[in-house]
Amino acid sequence: MNNSPDPIQAQPPSWVQRHRSKLAFLALSLAAAAIAVSCATSGTNRGFVLAPAIPGSEYVGSEACEQCHDTLTKRFASAPHAGLIAQGPNAVNVGCESCHGPASIHVESGGAARTILNPDRNPESCYHCHSNLRGQFALPHAHPVGEGRLGCSACHSPHSGDAFAGTASSLTSANEACLTCHKPQRGPHIFEHEAMREGCLTCHAPHGSVNQKMLTERNAVLCLKCHFQQQTGPGRIAIGAIDHTTFLSRGTCWNAGCHEAVHGSQVSSSLRF
């Protein structure tokens, strides 16, 4: 492992590369994982800690951050990550450093550039604990996190509250977070699609999906979750007042000519365009 990437510089591969070669991506992920210190689980503590290493730097504990990042450190008590505690003989509260990496060099240098990890540029430290997400973001259709376009913090607030930008319990504010970047979906539409009130997540996976446009289903099932109705006879499929039997074999419900305007329409009450 002579060629381990510098964790501060290490960038996940670009969107294009990722699609060109799944294998290259896998190799890079493995290299990145190899520089992370391994997890330990024991006693009552949660499965655990330690961000990718910063060469030569050691853990100093969250209190050390307060001196210079005063406001942020005080608000941190409300965050779900605040309670993470390192295990072992020299245990310290490594809440901040679980995402930002060991900070002794950063602290001693008074915050010099390139002494600390920023997970928005390289989410490897998040994946170290949330390892299922590495796979989600590697799916063919995924939000391009860590490629300089958006980071986890576009939708999650790491430093306070319940980790969700807006409020997790409120679907409206979850939509709001999405709509700050995806303005065309906002409307107002003359003909609304009521499904939008249920929230973007009824149809889209927020991290990534195997399906086009990060959809949760690839075909009519997406729509039939809500639009399924008692059928009039065997082999016939009616949706609304219309017989859809032959339509459904022609492609997705949101094909051109069908219901292209799934988010709402200015001209068509049946959301055709």
Site for ligand HEC in 177-196 (CB under 6 A): 177-182, 185, 193-196
Q: Is 140 left (phi over 0), alpha (psi -120 to 50) or beta?
A: alpha
CB-nearer residue toward ligand HEC: 161 or 234: 161
Decide: is 80 part of the binding site for ligand HEC (CB under 6 A).
Answer: yes
Decide: is 36 part of the binding site for ligand HEC (CB under 6 A).
Answer: no
Of all residues in the chain, what percent are helix, strand and coil, respectively (each to 5)? 35, 5, 60
Residue of the chain from 133, 139, 171, 238 that contacts ligand HEC (CB under 6 A): 133
Helices (H), the chain: 15-20, 22-34, 63-66, 70-75, 95-100, 104-108, 124-129, 131-137, 171-181, 195-198, 221-227
CB-nearer residue toward ligand HEC: 213 or 234: 213
Q: What are the two backbone dihedrals, phi and then psi, of residue 24, each rounded to the nearest 5 degrees?
A: -60, -40
Per the structure block, which two tokens stand in for 80?
């779900």
Residue of the chain from 9, 90, 246, 269 that contacts ligand HEC (CB under 6 A): 269
Per the omega criterion (within 30 degrees of 0), is the bond before 188 cis? yes
In the Cβ-directed half-sphere of 214, how many Cα atoms lie within 13 Å? 15
CB-nearer residue toward ligand HEC: 4 or 185: 185
Decide: is 49 part of the binding site for ligand HEC (CB under 6 A).
Answer: yes
One-letter amino acid of 232: T
CB-nearer residue toward ligand HEC: 2 or 6: 6
> Among all residues, whose Cβ is closest to ligand HEC?
111
CB of 30 to ligand HEC, least distance (A): 17
CB of 152 to ligand HEC, least distance (A): 3
Residue of the chain from 54, 86, 106, 208 that contacts ligand HEC (CB under 6 A): 106
